[in-house]
Amino acid sequence: MKTELKHYKVDEICKGFVYNELEGKGLFGLSGRLTIQPEYQRNYIYAESKRDVAVIESLLKGYPLGLIYFNKVSEDNLEVLDGQQRITSFGRFVTGKFAVKDENGLEQYFSGLAQDKQELILNSDLLVYECEGAESEIKEWFKTINISGVPLKDQELLNAVYSGPFVTLGKEEFSNSKNANIQKWSAYVSGAVDRQEYWERALEWVSRGKENIARYMSAHRNEKSIAEVKTYFNSVIDWVSGVFLDVFKEMRGLEWGRLYEEYHSKAYDPKKLSARVHELYDDPYIHNQRGIWEFVLSGETHPNLLNVRVFDEPLKRQAYNAQTKAAQLAGISNCPLCAVGHAANDDKIWKLAEMEADHVSAWSKGGATSADNCQMLCKTHNRAKGNN
Ligand SMILES: [Zn+2]
């Protein structure tokens, strides 16, 4: 791979600048020779965070914008590997798409700036590395360059590395905020559509785990269909929305792909399940509400998913004192299970530190975490009892 360091002026890059408002993409510059947004690049996101304004302020102060990378695709054509956000920012400013505040706090578009300031921006020097080489080489290198500005998400990198018709179609479906399905999906999928996080979930689900995404993309890279991804994604969403009648905010971003794999072949009564979810959701003893859905899907066999609140220290001490006093009077062990046993411990008085709190009536069977449902057991008996 060949790289060459070059200088460009903002003015040159902005010649023939085209911005697609609908797609949120800077498209061309350098009088048409430069493709600003190759298909594997993320959409323009600087505008959302006002970083576009910061780019212009840097230029007005004479600060460098940092290294920019171009890929030389042919003798006369270049595309931006890194720097697309910065280029789109000044391109949009120079073409009057947004304003910045001047020293008097007034919003100014480019055309409203003093002549010398306009020239300062247009004459700003940009340092550009132009590289030339096999696609795979460049993509590998692009993956490893330290990207300034907003760091790329994993999936944005994967899109770059495995760019092609498959990625293009995937982005059209899953990274397109104009897709009417996004609203429905967002009940179950978290993250930002334009940062490729829905596309990432779709790939993660169909490939059965995030660690398999790269292999899956590599295998399907040149396909002109994403039917398998779509079908699988919709199966998962249809299953969740069918099994659980109500949507809670805690359902967003759960591992629905994995849950679908594990539980979709089981039969559930959505009405019953729904009622149970509401009950658990209102249970003050449950600390991890996000565990509720897997808990009910798995037949309520793993209470640890819920992180049920345990008895606090004063409550334990209170139970310990009462139990120990009664046991001493009766001449039996203060562990009720030791007391009824035939072993050497049937009259043993355990220290508080040697005992653990137990739900008399198990939490999983409706027992509350309250004083009248607390008993202290010796550690051996408490652990043998389990499921508290
Ligand atoms: Zn015991």
Ligand 1 center from residue 315 Cα (angstroms): 19
Ligand 1 center from residue 357 Cα (angstroms): 12
Ligand 1 center from residue 330 Cα (angstroms): 16
Residue 386: is its pLDDT beyond 70? Answer: no
Using CA atoms, how far residue 245 sits from 34, 48, 276, 306, in Å, is 51, 35, 11, 20
Ligand 1 center from residue 379 Cα (angstroms): 7
Ligand 1 center from residue 285 Cα (angstroms): 26
Helices (H), the chain: 10-14, 51-60, 84-94, 115-122, 135-144, 154-161, 165-174, 182-185, 197-206, 213-220, 227-243, 256-263, 270-281, 292-297, 313-330, 336-339, 379-385
Which residue from 274, 246, 376 is spatially nearest to 317, judged by alpha carbons?
376
pLDDT of residue 146: 47
Ligand 1 center from residue 284 Cα (angstroms): 29
Give the distance from CA 22 to its chain's centroid: 25
Ligand 1 center from residue 355 Cα (angstroms): 8
Ligand 1 center from residue 306 Cα (angstroms): 27
Average pLDDT over residues 249-277: 96
Among the listed ranges 161-165, 269-273, 304-308, which one has the minimum average pLDDT value? 161-165
pLDDT tens digits for range 154-198: 787 778 767 789 999 999 999 998 999 999 999 999 999 988 999
Ligand 1 center from residue 336 Cα (angstroms): 7
% of the chain surpassing 70 pLDDT: 93
Among the listed ranges 199-203, 308-312, 373-377, which one has the minimum average pLDDT value? 308-312
Select the more confidently predicted residue: 2 or 261. Answer: 261
pLDDT of residue 321: 95
Residue 22: is its pLDDT beyond 60? Answer: yes
Average pLDDT over residues 85-96: 93
pLDDT of residue 309: 74
